[in-house]
Structure 1
Amino acid sequence: MEFAVNIPTSCGSGEYTNLAFCDEISWEKQHSFGTHMESLGFDGLAVPDHLITGNGSTMECLTTVTALAVATDDVYLYPKTINNPLRHAPLLAKAAASIDVVSDGRLKLGMGAGWKADEAEAYGYDWGDAPSRLRQLEEAIELMKAMWTGDTVSYDGDYYSLDEAICRPEPVQSPHPTIMVGGGGEQFTLRITAKHADVWNFWGSTDVMERKLNVLADHCATYDTDYDAIQKSWFARCVIRETEEEVEELLEAVPRFRPENMGKDDNHLVGTPEDIIADIKRYVDLGIEEVVVEFVDFPRQEGADMFAEEVIPAFE
């Protein structure tokens, strides 16, 4: 089992922020938290990809990942998840190869079709419908793999066209950096995962994850790809304290994580270490092999410290 920690890129009020104790994001907070997560023994650092979230600063994903590559030694670096329409895929291939070199082979590249139209439109991007963004995502993964593994690459697709493009230096990882596809769309996203991905990540209850995994297995059968070779990953936010009374006190600051405030398909890690171990075991039983957590008390370190000391050892 692998455990990665989300390094937030934004905070404050907004539809995508859940950090009650962080008024403003900064590189200093990200750096301090990320290096401490490595010292605690977490396997990876995940960084969201957004341009405008919350009502304050939003740090750019790839810049943050590169800075964390220099600041750390062993954790994998996990853009999670690149909003594909915001990046020209051939240039992303070049940037990803460079990050893999800078980090000595620690890049784990999360890819998705994007969902947050308002920030893309604010920055002047054309925002296509979901099917077109997903077809574009599939082309992006195809050509990135070709650029990472080929000498000169020509590509003629509906969304990208290359004429003897060269991507040097090549990534350190062979044949290429790990690719995660994020999302739960059963017709398109899980098909793309079955055909192209090394890892699949989604969020939700065990019922949701079980259904998605069954669909993924069906797509793998269609393409004759190895379902077991795809790492299955789950994302959750975490509210952890030693006692039920302390959990309740923290929930006063983050009430959206109370059971009555979550949808029937939601699930986050809320409770004492014993509660959270039991919850994660239910996902392990489904075949989940990576858990990505965001601690809602960021930039405080109490939750992460407790998770590392009392939860991770149960899965070693």
Structure 2
Amino acid sequence: MEFAVNIPTSCGTSEYSTLAFCEDISWEKQRDFSVKIEELGFDGIAVPDHLMTGDGPTTECLVTTTGLAGITSDVYLYPKTINNHLRHGPLLAKIAATLDCVSDGRLKLGMGAGWKEDEATAYGYEWPDAPTRLREMEETIEVMKHLWTETNVSYDGEFYTLSEADCRPHPLQDPHPPIMIGGGGEEFTLRITAKHGDVWNYWGSLELMKRKLSVLSNHCETYGRDYDDIQKSWFARCIIRESDENVSELLDSAPRFKSENRDADQNHLVGTPEEIIAEIKQYKDLGIDEIVVEFVDFPQTEGARCFAEHVIPEFD
């Protein structure tokens, strides 16, 4: 099983903020935290893609990821999840190919259709309906694969028209960086994953994930795709300490993570190492083989250290 850590790009008091111990985001905090994450032995670092979240600064995903490429050497780099509608697909292919080269082949590219309309309209983007955004994302993925593996690419689609486009240098990874598709839409997103994705990522309770995986399996049958060829990934926020008393202290500062404050379909990793190990084993039994965690005590590293020392060894 692989373990990646979310590197926050924003924080604050809005409903989207889940970082109880961070007043604002800075490159220095992201940098120092990421270096420690690699030292602790995690497999990857993930970076969200937003323009405006929280009520303070928000750092841009791809620039942040490139900066992290320069200060790390082993972890995979995981833009998670690119809001496709905010990027011109062929240009994103060029950026991703270059980032894979710059990072010595460590890119794992997360793709999504976006959900946060207010940040898009604030920046002057039109915001089409979800089916349109999903078709656009699917076409982006098709175009990227052509550009990453061919030269002089011509393409005539609904959203993009290319005429002998050259995306060299191609990515170092053969045939291209793995593409993660994020989201739980059963009619569109999971179908696109079955057809085009190398990885699928979502969040939620065991029952919710079980249902989504069943739908994904059905879509794989439709396309003649081997279900086992797709890596299944789960995202969770994490509060971990070695004693129940210390966990309770953290929950007093971050009450939204108390069990009574969660919706039925939500789930987080909250507790002692033993409790979290037991929780992860249930997801592993579902077929989940990547866990992406965001430590609520960021930019502190105590939670990450505790997780690395006590949880990860149980899944080696």
| Band of TM-score, shorter chain | over 0.9
Q: In the alignment, what sits opposite 1:304?
A: 304
Structure 1, gaps ≥5 residues long:
none
Provide Cα deviations, 1:220-275, integer angstroms capped at 9, x if missing partner: 00000110010000000001011111111000010000111000000000000000
Matches for 1:23-102 after TM superposition, within 5 Å: 23-102=23-102
In the TM superposition, what is the alpha-carbon distance from 1:17 to its structure 2 partner?
1.1
Q: In the alignment, what sits opposite 2:114?
A: 114
CA contact (8 A) 1:82 1:110 kept: yes
CA contact (8 A) 1:15 1:54 kept: yes
Letter matched to residue 261 of structure 1: N
CA contact (8 A) 1:15 1:53 kept: no
CA distance, structure 2, for counterparts of residue 199 and residue 212 of structure 1: 14
CA distance, structure 2, for counterparts of residue 291 and residue 250 of structure 1: 22
CA distance, structure 2, for counterparts of residue 155 and residue 226 of structure 1: 28
Corresponding residue pairs, total: 316
CA distance, structure 2, for counterparts of residue 49 and residue 146 of structure 1: 24
Letter matched to residue 57 of structure 1: P
TM superposition score normalised by structure 2: 1.00
In the TM superposition, what is the alpha-carbon distance from 1:16 to its structure 2 partner?
1.5
Q: In the alignment, what sits opposite 1:262?
A: 262
Q: In the alignment, what sits opposite 2:223?
A: 223
Q: In the alignment, what sits opposite 1:271?
A: 271
Matches for 1:1-316 after TM superposition, within 5 Å: 1-316=1-316
Runs of 4+ in 1 over 3 A off after TM superposition: none
Aligned-residue CA RMSD (Å): 0.5
Letter matched to residue 254 of structure 1: A
CA distance, structure 1, for counterparts of residue 28 and residue 93 of structure 2: 28
> Identity over aligned residues, as a percent?
70
In the TM superposition, what is the alpha-carbon distance from 1:149 to its structure 2 partner?
0.4
In the TM superposition, what is the alpha-carbon distance from 1:15 to its structure 2 partner?
2.3
Letter matched to residue 146 of structure 1: H
CA distance, structure 1, for counterparts of residue 309 and residue 46 of structure 2: 20
Letter matched to residue 126 of structure 2: D
Provide Cα deviations, 1:163-205, integer angstroms capped at 9, x if missing partner: 1111011100010011000000000000000000000000000
CA distance, structure 1, for counterparts of residue 156 and residue 17 of structure 2: 39
CA contact (8 A) 1:33 1:301 kept: yes
CA distance, structure 1, for counterparts of residue 50 and residue 259 of structure 2: 28
Provide Cα deviations, 1:98-149, integer angstroms capped at 9, x if missing partner: 0000000000000000000000000000100000000001000000000000
SS in 2 for 1:187: coil
CA contact (8 A) 1:100 1:173 kept: yes
